[in-house]
Chains A and B, each alone.
Chain A
């Protein structure tokens, strides 16, 4: 039984906005990214280190800077409290599993410190698939 997507979004926003590692260097962490989990897609909009909005029902023309796309199984592995090898990050899963990084990867690289920290918050929030 997966988590309701709106409950997940509220939890992920709360975790991000309360995270000291992100917030201590949150200024200018401003970008928009998609988590494509197959059956479920969300768009997270960041502004100065805070979640401004999470779009839980993206329409075809809704835009974002970059996307992370993988199977629901991979996303569920990302969300384990102690993920198995190769599911423990975006580089490992894209080199060795089915994660694909798409879109404007320069924006990802410009925000990589905070994004990698925020990505690992999935281990606390779970995923809505």
Chain B
């Protein structure tokens, strides 16, 4: 059976903080740009359901990129990156996303990311409310310590399996087997980057004293977290949203830390509500 997907992929080369990145992204849809960040140690296939969601792509230009060192986006070609330990910082992460949005000429994009992508969404709302129409931090919190662990790349263990099975119970048992195992599969592919991503997630990202400076009326912040997320449990997200001016918290029942990847059919119900709130506030 031959069936072509409407999703297409392209590469764009950009320079960020002296690094030359050839960035791979998938896109489908027309209208309001909605740019999506995968979770730590994963890649843009986590957004496969959204990219082919006919209802959402009718009005939204959905773009899901691979962060450098993930999926089909290589490490920088102009650096001897193999001589340094990879540690993602908030500064570099923000600079990368803004540079990519500029390169793609995205006008007033909505930024959505999950986990370490959710945490950087909060950073964007703080630092660049002028550049984004709104942000949707999924499974995010002001501070998320405890996951920058040596186990993710211990030379005496199979890092691919440690990363993939180490995040297994971040997903809800109700999520379909196929989608959970696909998420597991993605995680086997990104184990060398996972720990460096988590440097941002658990160490460099700390907005506990900065939430008061995020203006969710200028750049709406719609936070969503699943009830099975043990890493940023619902109370952590709710507590974060409450401290943001105009912040919104939506609790997602029976889903975990990778909602778009583990159960898109359920996630899309909550996402449509988040998009409705943004339309209501910003048009």
Contact = CB atoms under 8 A, between A and B. Distances in A.
A86 to B, nearest CB: 6
Interface in A71-92: 82-83, 85-86, 88-92
Given A109-B162, A112-B166, A88 B173 contact: yes
A113 B170 CA distance: 14
Given A112-B166, A113-B165, A88 B172 contact: yes
A116 interface: yes
Contact of A110 (B158, B166, B168): B158
Interface string A51-87: 0000000000000000000000000000000110110
B173 to A, nearest CB: 5
B227 interface: yes
Interface residues of A, number: 20
Interface string A82-105: 110110111110011000000001
B156 interface: yes
B11 interface: no
Contacts of A89: 168-169, 230
A89 B233 CA distance: 14
Contact of B156 (A86, A110, A115): A110
Given A96-B233, A109-B154, A109-B157, A88 B165 contact: no
Contact of A82 (B156, B168, B173): B173
Given A83-B173, A95-B146, A110-B157, A116 B168 contact: yes
Interface in A100-129: 105-106, 109-110, 112-113, 115-116, 120
B14 interface: no
Q: Which of A86, A90, A91, A95 has the most CB of B within 10 A?
A: A91
B230 A106 contact: no
Contact of A92 (B154, B164, B165, B230): B230
Contacts of A86: 228, 230, 233
B8 interface: no
B169 A90 contact: yes
Interface of B: 146, 151, 154, 156-158, 161-162, 164-170, 172-174, 227-228, 230-231, 233
18 contacts: A83-B173, A85-B172, A86-B233, A88-B228, A91-B166, A91-B169, A91-B230, A92-B169, A92-B228, A96-B233, A105-B151, A106-B154, A109-B154, A110-B156, A112-B157, A112-B162, A116-B165, A116-B168
